[in-house]
Amino acid sequence: MFKAFFFDMDGVVFNSMPVHAHAWEVVMAKHGLPFTARDCYLQEGRTGQSVIEECYLRARGCYPTEEEWKAIYQEKKDLFYSHGKAPLMDGISDLLYWLHEQPSKPQIFLVTGSGMRTLLDEINVELPGIFARERMVTAFDYTHGKPDPEPYLIAYAKAKAADPTLEKHECCVVENAPLGVQAGKGAGLFVAGVNTGILTEADLLAAGADVTFPTMQALHQYLKQQ
């Protein structure tokens, strides 16, 4: 059994990707920046700043100013929130509380590109007792977002501080997006890809996932057999 689990948030803990994709499409179009739902799923895991800068560079041949990207990101966040709370992913609650109750007491971290403070607060309302702030790595905590391994390296360092015997192969990353899978593998960790969106399990394997699953329930069954 793994000693630490590093869960991504969007598309893993919350079924928030359909609304994220819609909000990105609408706001980018408003600013004359071409961006599709597929772009959103492929870029998933990057910070808002990075998504906007890359799209802006492709469309206009230059980077946006800090004022510009911050304004676009704010509009996107406002539209996202106007849709209300994203539901939990099917099967994630059962999986998290099952892990939480294991006698081996695995560490459970949240590792996300999100910089949305309210969603991070909500997670403790939706899933009380699972993710303490000291076991969350968010856009506020690192310099380079996924697919850079930094977010997962920080999570590993924090987990190892709590358990000095912890080895990298004893940590399981749970990701739904190719860039997130790359980040986990770049950090040298075991990565379980769960395909919860419009991509395929083959996309996650191609990104380097060690194992892939079609649903959170399938991952849960796999972990029960470990």
Which has the closest alpha carbon to 51: 113, 98, 111, 96?
Answer: 113
193 binds Ca ion, rule: CB under 5 A: no
- Specify which residues 119 forms β-bridges with: none
52 binds Ca ion, rule: CB under 5 A: no
At position 116, the amino acid (one-letter code) is M
43 binds Ca ion, rule: CB under 5 A: no
Measured between its terminal Cα atoms, the distance across the chain in Å is 6
Which has the closest alpha carbon to 203: 221, 186, 182?
Answer: 182
Per DSSP (E only), the strands in 61-194 are 107-111, 136-137, 171-175, 190-194
177 binds Ca ion, rule: CB under 5 A: yes
Region of 3-11, 47-55, 117-125, 131-139 interacting with Ca ion (CB under 5 A): 3-11
147 binds Ca ion, rule: CB under 5 A: no
Region of 6-14, 92-100, 134-142, 144-152 interacting with Ca ion (CB under 5 A): 6-14
Cβ–Cβ < 8 Å for 167, 159: no
195 binds Ca ion, rule: CB under 5 A: no
Binding residues for Ca ion, total number by CB under 5 A: 5
176 binds Ca ion, rule: CB under 5 A: yes
Residue 45 or 64 having the CB closest to Ca ion: 45
11 binds Ca ion, rule: CB under 5 A: yes
Looking at 10, 39, 148, 203, which residue binds Ca ion (CB under 5 A)? 10
- The first and second tokens of residue 98, run together, are 């099952």
The binding site for Ca ion (CB under 5 A) comprises 8, 10-11, 176-177
